[in-house]
Amino acid sequence: MARKKKNTVDYFPHDCTHGRKMYIVESQFGNDGYAVWFKLLEQLGLAEDHYLDLRDYSQLMFLSSYCKVDEDTFKSILDLLCKIGAVNKFLWEKDIIFSDKFIDSVQEAYKRRNNKCITFDDLCKHLGFKCIHNEDSNGLNDSKKPQSKVKESKEEEIKEDNSKEFEPKAPSPKPKKVSSSSDKKLHQDLKKDFLDFYVNETGNKFYWTAKEAKNLKELIAKLKFSIEEKKEKSSAKKESATDEEVISSFRIILENLPKWIKENSFTVAGINSQYMNILNQIKNSSNNVNNKSNGELTDEQKLELYRQINGEY
């Protein structure tokens, strides 16, 4: 039986000197920018065919947690990496992380094992995208960029061979959806819970916007992921989160929402962006025997949360 070809690498070159691109990233994001870039390279090396699919929301949650930054910062750093050509612009616009620079750096490993490393064109076929070469997105020198005739012929090949080669290895690229009516009802239930809770806490009505609706959708995905992960750990099998479990978890978060979150970012967008910090804060509060009986945060916990919100680390 033929041995399965390996499409991952265990290491990649890491130069001791850096150019203008890393200077730009560090200037805007400090050590977070540096760490995110090299941790991304590690994950690209470990990933099958060297790409990361953020259309699966759990992947975004994992990567931002792995890089020790919140999701908004993670995506902002990726946007900058895209602008300076470190990641592929065409694929990042489709929530796929792929770096031509990284692919170039691991070519020697594939030559030694007599195996073909995936290319941008191959990946487009694999994902079912119509391949478009953008002059500013690939991080390639002009001498390495395909000529227009080559581009056209490759695009024609993609049209013809789209269903033949590099079939998707996962099911559907996009996360599975429950019925739209169920999604809408869950969204409306959680929206009502938040609006009622906000009125009870502040005495004022909350101004709901499209931004809040988008963040609530993301928050629901996070809640489902957390519930399903907990189920899998306890029963060793995958079970989908029910709407009732999501509603119950959301209400628990609202009832135990740290005071400093309410004072600094009392919005669905705020809860969404600080989701992991809030969960950790609630967990620490429930485990701390020195907490006040009324559930308020200690001064030490308030300072900790303030640092997390403002990134003072």
Residue 138 pLDDT:
41
Is the same domain home to 211 and 271? Answer: yes
Is 137 inside any structural domain?
yes
Asked if residue 248 and residue 281 are part of one domain, the reply reads: yes
> Does residue 26 sit in the same domain as residue 153?
yes
If asked whether residues 74 and 116 sit together in one domain, one would say yes
d(CA 228, CA 226): 6
**What pLDDT shows up at residue 10?**
60
For residue 211, give every residue at least 6 positions away whose Cβ sits within 8 Å of its Cβ, in sequence order, or none: 269
Residue 282 has pLDDT above 90, yes or no: no
Q: Is position 174 within any domain?
A: no
Residue 300: CA count within 13 A, CB half-sphere: 6
Q: Is residue 129 domain-shared with residue 258, that is, in the same domain? A: no
Q: Is it the case that residue 188 has pLDDT exceeding 80?
A: yes
Same domain, 109 and 227: no
Report CA-CA distances (Å) from 219 to 69, 99, 184, 253, 267: 17, 29, 14, 11, 12
Kindly state whether residue 7 falls inside one of the protein's structural domains: no
Q: Say what the pLDDT of residue 187 is.
A: 92
Q: Residue 14: which pLDDT band, with cuts at 50, 70 and 90? A: low
Q: What is the mean pLDDT of the chain?
A: 75
Using the predicted structure, report yes or no on whether residue 189 has a pLDDT greater than 90: yes
pLDDT at 97: 92
DSSP string, 162-223: TTTSS--SSS-SSPP---HHHHHHHHHHHHHHHHHHHHHHHSS-----HHHHHHHHHHHHHH
Task: Name the domain boundary from 161, 192, 211.
Answer: 161
d(CA 137, CA 92): 9
Beta-bridge mates of residue 53:
96
Do residues 238 and 228 make contact, with C-beta atoms less than 8 angstroms apart? Answer: yes
* Residues 153 and 189 both lie in one domain: no
Query: What's the token pair of residue 158?
Result: 């993609």
Predicted local distance difference test score (pLDDT) of residue 190 = 95
Total tally of structural domains belonging to the chain:
2
Domain presence at residue 268: yes
Q: Which of 108, 127, 161 is the last residue of a domain?
A: 161
Instruction: Average the pLDDT over 281-308 and give the result.
Output: 55
Q: Per mean pLDDT, which of 20-24, 143-147, 156-160, 201-205 is the most reliable?
A: 201-205
In a domain, 116, yes or no: yes
Contact between 85 and 137 (Cβ < 8 Å): yes
What values do phi and psi take at 23, rounded to 5?
-60, -40
**Owner of token pair 């065409």:** 90
What is the average pLDDT across 272-278?
A: 84
Q: Is residue 172 part of a domain?
A: no
101 vs 224: CA distance, rounded Å: 35
Among the listed residues 245, 259, 180, the one whose alpha carbon sits nearest the alpha carbon of residue 217: 180
C-alpha–C-alpha distance, residues 263 and 216, integer Å: 19
Same domain, 150 and 114: yes
| 184 & 54 share domain | no
* 194 and 112 assigned to the same domain: no
SS3 95: coil
What integer pLDDT is reported at residue 191 of this predicted model?
94
Instruction: Name the percent of the chain lying above pLDDT 90.
Output: 15
- Among 164-178, 212-226, 285-299, the minimum mean pLDDT is found in 164-178
The residue length of the chain stands at 313
- Stretch 63-79: mean pLDDT: 89
Judge if 152 and 208 occupy the same domain.
no
Determine the structural domain holding residue 60 and report its residue range: 20-161
Q: Would residue 245 count as lying in a domain?
A: yes
- 149 & 47 share domain: yes
**Residue 303 falls inside a structural domain:** yes
Nearest alpha carbon to residue 139 among 123, 120, 115: 120
pTM of the model: 0.45
Of the segments 24-28, 163-167, 231-235, which one has the largest average pLDDT value?
A: 24-28
Whether 239 has a pLDDT exceeding 90, the answer reads no
Choose one of 161, 191, 215: the last residue of a domain. 161
